[in-house]
Chain A
Amino acid sequence: MSKQKKDIGQEILKEINQDDLQSEHHKKPFLGKAAIPLLAILTGLIIGGLMIAITSQSVYTAFGQSIGKGFATAFSEVGTAYKALFNGAIGDPARMINALKLGDAKEIRQAFNPFLESLVQATPYIFAGLAVALGFRSGLFNIGVEGQLFIGAACATYVGYAVTGLPAWIHMPLAFLAGALGGALWGFVPGFLKAKTGGHEVINTIMMNWIAFRLTEWLLSGPMTRPGSGGMPLSPIIQKTAEIPQFFPSPIRFHLGFFIALAGAYFIWWLLFKTTWGLNLRTVGTNPRAARYAGLSTTKSIILAMSLSGALAGMAGAVQVLAVNRSMALGLSSGYGFDSIALALIGNNHPVGVVLASILFGTLRNGATRMMVVSSIPIDIVDVVQAIILMFVAAPAIIRSIYRLRKPKQEEQQVFLSGWGGQS
């Protein structure tokens, strides 16, 4: 009897999700779902340009002379800045063409290095963005990626330098998994609290962030400090066997981690869309009431989803330490935690979208470093642009009214998030 009941539940579930699948099949023409994010990015960059012009001293001086001159200076300032951004992020087109004509392998690598470097920057973003997307898919808002990343990086670093005498094919995966495990633990705690006590994960993950910062600060200046660093929070350098290999000699940092990240994205896609577990998870996320009628355990899926989300965030930290930095310092993250929220939303919480958005953000950030050198524009402008992009993606009505787009027949499904009460 009870078995039959469960079957009915599964039937209901199938029906609910069939709706979901059908709507996915009827895709809109003209770029479809990508139109809003693309326009959002464009608008974000335009507003970023305005900010560059407004905060530039020479623009004001030029406006003092004449209005025409003012506009010309403003355009040239923004042009210089965005050209530096492009060259820093993709590479100098002239040099790239030249290198291809010459056919010199080393010159080609160096000309294309800015693009490869953008992929290097994108790698932790992919992991972090997947972490947030997985949370959103299951109705959880994980703002704790930053802390999970720090703990993951600390665990990976510890295994990376303290364990010796292992061959590389064991040591490297072991250190990487240690990072995932550390992040998973940091995600498990708020997941457990949410499921068992209803403590809201938004506050708890933020608190776990601060605890993680203080904990790593203590670890790096105490138990895990590098001998001779003089109390500076800095870890020892990891063993050669723990390093995630880089493909090319020194100045080019492109590494295997990028492909591990792609594999991770594939795995999450498979998990979410091809397994029963993923189906249950998405049902809990989009329609918890239906999920409960179908006999699904929200408690279990919340804890599992938060742990897995934390594990992904931990991998972001691990890959950064094992492949790029080779040791851990406090300046490990440049705000991956908040960026990853924007990534997940711009990527529509879909692994493919997240990977594309991550490459975009990696490119932006990599280019912004160059822009900072050329035009002395603080790199934090990227954050502002990202916030604006996120705003437009979250409120597509604004973008539609700016660009006179028609309203879709069906409202996009919003990510389900409840108030503080937890499982309502």
Chain B
Amino acid sequence: MTENSLVHKHRRVVEISHTRKIVIGVVEILIGLLIYFIFAAKTSGESLTKFVMTPGGIDQGQLSDWILPSKITLIILAVVSLLIGIYQIIKGFGKWTNMQIGICSLFLIFSFLVWQAADRQLNLAGMLSSAVLLAVPITLGAFSGILAERSGIINISIEGMMLMASMAAAITGSVTKNPWIGLLGGILSSVLLALILGVLSIKYKVNQTISGTVINIFSAGLTAFISQKFLQHTQTLNNPKMFTRVPLPGLADIPLVGPILFNQNIFVYLMFIILIVLQLALFQTRWGLRLRAVGEHPKAADTLGINVIRTRYMGVILSGVVAGIAGAFFTLGSVGRFDEGMTAGKGFIGLAAMIFGNWMPTGALGAGLLFGFADAIGSKLSLLGSSIPPQFMAMAPYLITMIVLAGFIGKGQAPAAEGEPYEKE
């Protein structure tokens, strides 16, 4: 078999066990019942939900507001969820399973919004816009995970790399007063950690989960140490210039999509660029084939003359580069200064997004957007004066992560040789 014919054989067969299929269907029916008996039942027939469609900060691509009759919308969503669930139990969706679960989750979220915003108004476009921004570190974290894991190295230290990068970006960005150098500083610090991970896991064959934990503890400790010793006394070290929003000419004029996707800062565009590059590189190039071969069957790859050790180092270092960009996002693209523990588990959620997205860049983006959306709801709903405590809303992304992991991880999807050190014979 030539390399070229292998290039196109990348689609993995998604196997879904019978029980899993039934459980997914039952959960979807429960979602439908929840929407019907809780959300719809508690909404009066005359209520209207007003979704404001102005994301703010830009005049292009505006839409008029959506006004929906709350109860009818909820009933329709409930019925569709029920039907999807029943079809799932009877026939199943095959390779569209992940997609339809995503849709059902969106229904759940959307109907929750319709219910909460009944008789009130909610800025949906603004929420989507912030969801895209919140999805950036999660999606980039997932890309970082994909790069390492496709080469066979489990990287649970994305969180630590992001944290270190966010601090390094804040410091270098403040000192040089240039966000680009800040971004570079962030990437560099994260790559250093990636090198440590690589040396520990590849050269010393340390259990990869443990070497990842070493890095997580190390960077949590070091960032807190430096923050307390220097940043809190010297404000000039922690005041970087941020990347501002740059509307893309032309694209930003597209109604709805334009202001949400194309009036963002550089990190959002980087996310899309990396997505395209990664998807093409992994599945359409010789380089990607080799990386995947090393992750799936290092012995065979070695026999064919691929340098397994070097390929794995490359995977881990590239993983560090992407994690560095994700970390720099926190200080240069979102908050504007470094706070202790500011990554708040986003690196781990990124890993969940990677698994949810089935180790595919496109899937990871979808999962990242879903998590970002769940994150955005929390902050918006507390503004809406919802009766639900904000802490419960903040739990949503974590709960979704667990449900997703329980529902989606099947056998034979992760790179086969992942987590195993390679020993040349």
B-binding residues in A (CB < 8 A): 51, 55, 141, 143, 193, 197-200, 202-204, 206-211, 214-215, 217-218, 222, 335, 338-339, 341-342, 345, 377-378, 380-388, 390-391, 394-395, 397-398, 414-415, 417-422
Contact = CB atoms under 8 A, between A and B. Distances in A.
Nearest to B378: A214
B210 A345 contact: yes
Interface of B: 20, 154, 156, 200, 204, 206-207, 209-211, 213-218, 220-222, 224-226, 228-230, 344-345, 348-349, 351-352, 355, 389, 391-392, 394-395, 398-399, 401-402, 405-407, 409-415, 418-419
A394 B221 contact: no
Contact of A207 (B216, B224, B348): B348
A210 B395 contact: yes
Contacts of A199: 402, 405-406, 409
B405 A197 contact: yes
Nearest to B340: A380
19 contacts: A199-B402, A203-B405, A210-B345, A211-B399, A214-B394, A222-B389, A338-B213, A338-B220, A345-B210, A380-B220, A380-B225, A390-B213, A394-B206, A398-B204, A415-B207, A419-B154, A419-B414, A420-B414, A422-B409
Contacts of A395: 200, 204, 206, 211
A388 B200 CA distance: 12
A218 B407 contact: no
Given A378-B229, A419-B418, A397 B204 contact: yes
| Interface SS, B side | helix
Contacts of B220: 335, 338, 380, 383
A418 B207 CA distance: 9
Nearest to A423: B411
A55 B221 contact: no
Contacts of A335: 220
Give the most central of A386, A388, A394: most B CB within 10 Å: A394
A103 to B, nearest CB: 43
Nearest to B152: A419
Given A383-B224, A384-B221, A384-B222, A394 B398 contact: no
Contact of A394 (B211, B348, B395): B211
A215 B395 CA distance: 8
A19 B316 CA distance: 37
Nearest to B215: A387
B397 to A, nearest CB: 8
Nearest to B213: A341
A421 B409 contact: yes
Contact of A378 (B228, B389, B401, B407): B228
B225 A198 contact: no
Contacts of A414: 207
B405 A338 contact: no
Contacts of A415: 207, 210
A399 to B, nearest CB: 11
B221 A382 contact: yes
Contacts, number: 157
Contact of A193 (B230, B351, B391, B405): B405
Given A193-B402, A383-B224, A141 B411 contact: no
A394 B159 CA distance: 20
Query: Which 5 A/B pairs are nearest by Cβ-Cβ distance?
Result: A383-B221, A387-B218, A380-B224, A199-B405, A378-B228
Contacts of B418: 419-420
Give the most central of B225, B349, B355: most A CB within 10 Å: B225
Contacts of A345: 210
A377 B229 CA distance: 7
A295 B174 CA distance: 61
Contacts of B398: 207-208, 210-211, 214
A214 B344 CA distance: 12
A320 to B, nearest CB: 21
A295 B62 CA distance: 65
Nearest to B389: A218
Nearest to B220: A383
Contact of A387 (B214, B344, B352): B214
Contact of B409 (A208, A387, A391, A420): A420
A203 B401 contact: yes
Nearest to B393: A214
Given A197-B406, A198-B411, A199-B405, 16 more contacts: A204-B402, A207-B345, A214-B391, A222-B389, A381-B221, A381-B225, A384-B221, A394-B206, A394-B207, A395-B206, A417-B207, A417-B419, A419-B154, A420-B154, A421-B413, A421-B414
B213 A203 contact: no
A213 B417 CA distance: 35
Contacts of A341: 210, 213, 217
Given A204-B405, A207-B348, A417-B207, A387 B411 contact: no
A44 to B, nearest CB: 11
B204 A386 contact: no
A391 B221 contact: no
Nearest to B348: A206
A339 B228 CA distance: 20
